[in-house]
Chain A
Amino acid sequence: MNLRDILSPLYVWKRAFEKPYTMNTLKDGRPGAPNYRGFHQNDIDKCIGCGTCAEICQNVSIDMVPIKPTRDGDSGLRPRIDYGRCCWCALCVDICPTGSLTMSNAYTWVEEGLDLDVRETFCYIPGHDPKPWDDEPLGYRRPQDYELLHLDRTPMPQLPPEQRISSFIEMVKGYSRELALKEADRCIQCGICTATCPAHMNIPAYIKAIREDNIAEGLMILYETNPLPGICGRICTRRCEDVCALSHRGEAISIRWLKRYLTDCVEAVDYQNILQKEISLNGKKISVIGSGPGGLSAAYYLSRMGYQVDVYEQNKAAGGMLRYGIPEYRLPYDMLDKDIEYILSQGVKLHLETRVGQEISFDEIYKGSDAIFISTGLFEPYRIGVKGDEIAGVISGLELLADVTNGVEVILGKSVLVIGGGNVAMDAARTARRLGSEVKVIYRRRLEDMPADHEEITEAMEEDVEFVFQAIPLEIEKTGDNRLRLIYGLAEMVDQGDGKRPQPILIEGSRIEIIADTIIAAIGQGMNFKWMDGEASANIKFGKWNIEADRYGCTTDKKVFIGGDMFNRTADAISAIADGHRSARAIDSLLK
């Protein structure tokens, strides 16, 4: 010890002349840093209630509570956060698929109500329960270049367009195991898709099965709600993907292709081993009219429930629109047969080329069955409705597709016009393209108004199908050299007000001519139920365009159920499958 050691500490006085470190937070406040992780904010309209925030929260501090009506793509639930548990790790913000959940930079929360239950004072629903920091622009946001989700879809291997148009070979090659696992890994298992799927397929569960490489389990999950998974895995309208939580900031999971992967992994002969279930017949008999997706679905579930099912089909093979309305390059016949044959193997009796009303009467079926499920679909194509639409060379899209399926030689000529903008129009156009014609699609509205699947439109464009938009057909006439002349007028789109589709209105005086060899009308199709006659139809209430039925498809005659395109407005395979399943359950509870 020396003198320096005694004097040196006096240095401490130097600080006495410095500005104090402390600040008066009561007077001046001390805002949090710009990206401070404070209390949560939620853009309640952007949020879809997928619950991924609750899923990743390790403290279980988030629960999902109903505050909005449920709709497609929105569970109606919103996160409620318990600040007695929250640790402010912000993983919920990082993983939020829509990016609606953020954090304010608020440090403190002062609330009256010490006498209240802590569950009322410690918890709130961000964005719903008003808080002072709701409009706070600062606070934690998911940092740039940091992403927990995988927003990009695993690309599906496909044939290049130039190869596609040379044959009817299936253009989509299907995922390999590696690609499927990669795609399945992206799923966050929120289940928003399940709610939107008409058949309510347990999509998160079968994607999980793929991820865990448990193909058998996956197939069983598929068959719980959909007996045509190989078909849906190819041609489903996949409304599940439209609402996929990942589609908000990135690309939806390829749910359809994953379903296809599952069915492609299993050979037809192994289906029975995986899905086997003892069926004990209950002696009751059900007739199904129409062997499209609706009829097949009903037949499958009813036969599994122990009913003797008879299916009546007017064509040479089962499948309905699946077979006669969807071209082979999208749905190869062997894949169609794989699913249908498994259904038939459940003891379903199929009566082919049996048109009800001709080979067998509706009365006879009615008397011989405990219940009837009718799903005959829309098979009467609408005419274009202009002068000359009956001239030879003007055919319907469905006619073309059915002829190709049936192996009838079709001669379309060099140039083909397709009128319409739906999926049938796209299928017809692309089929014509494969038959060697040059194709133009004539559509009344704009590209963005087309009801056809966006993917089909893109693929048609890749295959050099030309599009003429805002064109209203006016007249068809024969030219001197035995070709066809379509005269169309231009349309302008007129706004119809809130939520309504803009209407194309003809611009007076506009008149354009176009020469073609064949004109294909694909503007929709209607129902035909004239064959339902006799005593059996006495109790069924027919409308002008429809048959009256309750939500289970049960008509005014308790024994008769309808489904498929006759019943639902969406007119796609998966809705028909859902109808079949739903009516099967309704029939079962009726007959029990």
Chain B
Amino acid sequence: MSSLYPPILNGKAVYDLKDQKYLKIWQGPQHPGVTGNMSLELDVCGDQVIKCKTHVGYLHRGFEKLMERRRYINCFPIVCRICVPEPDTNEYLFAAAVEELLGIEIPERAKWLRTLNLELSRLASFLMWIGGQSGSFGSGTVAQWALAHRDYVLDLFEEWTGARIYHMYMTPGGVRGGLPEGWDAHAQKVLDGVYKLLDEIRHVQLNNAIFKMRAVGLGTITPDMIDKYGIVGPVARGSGLGRDIRKDQPYLIYDQLSFDTITESGGDTYARTVVRWREMYQSIDLIRQILKNMPRSGPLHISLPNVLHLKVPAGETYVRAESTRGEYGYYMVSDGSAFPRKITVRGPSYSHAMALLEDLAVGVNLADIHGLMLSLHTYPPEIER
């Protein structure tokens, strides 16, 4: 059999799609490998991908531009929509950027509540991801368990913030309310359930011969690729790089919590799965630490100037936080008016889903593409904003 790969001429693969050896497949935009919409243009030889091109743009809603015509308080309900499964990082970063430009410090209790919110939403986001990761390899059982537990976490959000998905909780200046009565006990119960689920996932998924056969060695990222592709978060940590903003540049009250950066050395889909699975334990532990140590009284919100006329002093800032996909950033420029001059959102999925995936997909079996994409854990809404 001749070589699977076409000859390369002047750095480009040369092949004829009409010679019946190669086939072009459009996958997406309703793609099982992502939460959102995104397309892959795959050239395959048999069931092996020889070239992958990513296409995004199906979710572009123009939020960054929209915000340039909105008062700051009116941007607040918009930002959460930039990433659907984990909206809270956006809320936090938007609020943090405005607060930094205004030069204000939020109350201590609000910082604890924000951290609690961020960790809880990390847990919800990871639960959604592990459902997809297992489902993409044909294990629908774990997918259903995980999504059921995610709904329990969303119940907690509903009781606390008044909404399940878009919590709209962290306003510039603080948070919108304290924890309702009885919330702690309910949260502990849900966390116990998730903890038990994670133990079971170890048996059913991580120690699963089929999962191992498909995930080990799939989409291996070597440490030297990390900076080249701008890889962050659990994807980088799966390749042995202990990079975690919560630890490296602690924000909110992360410096008062005890946790370690979790790394694995394999660099493949399996290693990334294990990193995220361990980080779910970590989130549960952090939430329990927060519930134990957080102040239960004190102000939640500092008094801002009238939000209807709020003008933010001219300046620019970049704030970042660790989301489930890695470094999430907000670059905000104010010209001193009531509207932001420019807000740019750095969604970590951008580099993972577009540049990295194109190279990792080459040589992968068509049936493993979704598993590979999920192991990069990308959310297209944050690519496009």
Contact = CB atoms under 8 A, between A and B. Distances in A.
Interface of A: 1, 4-6, 8-9, 11-12, 14-15, 21-22, 32-37, 52, 55-56, 58-59, 87-91, 94-95, 103, 140, 143-150, 185-189, 211
B76 A89 contact: yes
B153 to A, nearest CB: 13
A475 to B, nearest CB: 58
Interface string B199-233: 01001110111101100000000000000000000
A8 B207 contact: yes
7 contacts: A9-B208, A56-B73, A58-B75, A91-B73, A143-B178, A150-B303, A188-B308
A230 to B, nearest CB: 26
B145 A187 contact: no
Of the candidates A8, A103, A145, A188, the one having the most CB atoms from chain B within 10 angstroms of its own CB is A145
Given A37-B163, A140-B162, A188-B306, A58 B74 contact: yes
Nearest to A145: B300
Given A34-B159, A35-B162, A56-B74, A9 B299 contact: no
Interface in B26-85: 70-71, 73-78
Given A9-B204, A91-B74, 15 more contacts: A5-B209, A12-B141, A12-B200, A12-B204, A35-B177, A36-B163, A37-B162, A87-B166, A91-B77, A143-B177, A147-B301, A148-B307, A187-B306, A188-B306, A188-B308
B168 interface: yes
B208 A211 contact: no
Contacts of A185: 305-306, 309
B204 A8 contact: yes
A32 B309 contact: no
A146 B301 contact: yes
A258 B205 CA distance: 69
Contacts of A12: 141, 200, 203-204
Contacts of B200: 11-12, 14-15
Contacts of A188: 306, 308
Query: Main secondary structure on chain A at its contact with chain B?
Result: loop
A430 to B, nearest CB: 36
A103 B76 CA distance: 19
Given A35-B159, A90-B168, A148-B307, A58 B78 contact: yes
A146 to B, nearest CB: 5
A147 B162 CA distance: 17
A72 B329 CA distance: 50
A21 B196 CA distance: 14
Contacts of A15: 141, 145, 200
Interface in B151-177: 155, 158-159, 162-163, 166, 168, 174, 176-177
B331 to A, nearest CB: 21
A145 B178 CA distance: 9
A33 B307 contact: no
A19 to B, nearest CB: 12
A186 B308 CA distance: 9
Contacts of A22: 148
Contacts of B301: 145-147
B11 interface: no
A8 B211 CA distance: 12
A62 to B, nearest CB: 13
A89 B212 contact: no
B208 to A, nearest CB: 5
- Pick the most buried of A11, A33, A90: most chain B CB atoms within 10 A of its CB: A33
A189 B308 contact: yes
Contact of B303 (A1, A36, A90, A147): A147
Contacts of A187: 306
Contact of A55 (B77, B158, B209, B308): B308
A90 B174 CA distance: 16
B300 A146 contact: yes
Contacts of A146: 174, 176-177, 300-301
B176 A143 contact: yes
Interface residues of B, number: 43
A535 to B, nearest CB: 59
Given A21-B148, A56-B74, A33 B308 contact: no
A228 B301 CA distance: 42
B207 A4 contact: yes
B7 interface: no
Nearest to B304: A148
Contacts of B204: 8-9, 11-12
Nearest to B159: A33
A8 B209 CA distance: 9
Contacts of A32: 158
Contacts of A1: 209, 212-213
- Minimum-distance CB pairs A-B, first 6: A143-B177, A58-B74, A89-B77, A11-B203, A8-B207, A5-B209
Contacts of B162: 33, 35-37, 90, 103, 140
Contacts of B103: none
A146 B313 CA distance: 24
Nearest to B157: A33
A59 B197 CA distance: 40
Interface in B265-318: 299-301, 303-309
Contacts of A211: 309
B100 to A, nearest CB: 20
A89 B73 CA distance: 11
A140 B212 CA distance: 47
Nearest to B197: A15
A56 B74 CA distance: 7
Contacts of A58: 70-71, 74-75, 77-78
Nearest to B193: A21
A55 B309 CA distance: 11
Given A33-B159, A35-B180, A8 B308 contact: no
Given A36-B163, A189-B308, A89 B176 contact: no
Question: Which residue of A9, A35, A188 has the most chain B CB atoms within 10 A of its CB atom?
Answer: A9
Contacts of B180: 34-35
Nearest to A146: B301
B306 A149 contact: yes
Contact of B203 (A8, A34, A89, A150): A8
A274 to B, nearest CB: 24
Contacts of B74: 56, 58, 91
A197 to B, nearest CB: 21
Interface string B329-356: 0000000000000000000000000000
B266 to A, nearest CB: 15
Interface centre among B141, B162, B205 (most CB of A within 10 A): B162
Contacts of B176: 94, 143, 146
B69 to A, nearest CB: 10
A303 to B, nearest CB: 37
A89 B159 CA distance: 15
A59 B168 CA distance: 15
A212 to B, nearest CB: 9
Contacts of A145: 178, 299-301
A211 B338 CA distance: 13
Interface in B61-118: 70-71, 73-78
Nearest to A211: B309
A5 B212 contact: yes
Contacts of B168: 89-90
B251 to A, nearest CB: 22
